[in-house]
Amino acid sequence: MRNPKYHIYLMPDERRTVINSLIDLRNDLISQGRYTDIIDELLIKFTKAKIKKIKVEEV
């Protein structure tokens, strides 16, 4: 059975915050001498993800 795929919708500033946090985590892992393979994969997915413009109505 396949793992389910998840979609998240982020505002541009939230996306930037996630990417910066992943970079900080990666730098911490490098300074500790640990592997960063998973963080690298996540960074690639976030930076190559399509950006969709969605109209959000506030209630």
Q: Domain extents for the chain?
A: 12-48
Q: 43 pLDDT exceeds 80?
A: yes
- Which pTM value belongs to this model? 0.77
Tell me what the mean pLDDT of segment 10-36 comes to.
94
Q: 9 pLDDT exceeds 90?
A: no
d(CA 59, CA 57): 6
Provide CB contacts within 8 A for 30, sequence distance 6+.
Answer: 36
* Residue-wise pLDDT tens digits, 24-39: 999 999 999 999 999 9
Q: 52 pLDDT exceeds 90?
A: no
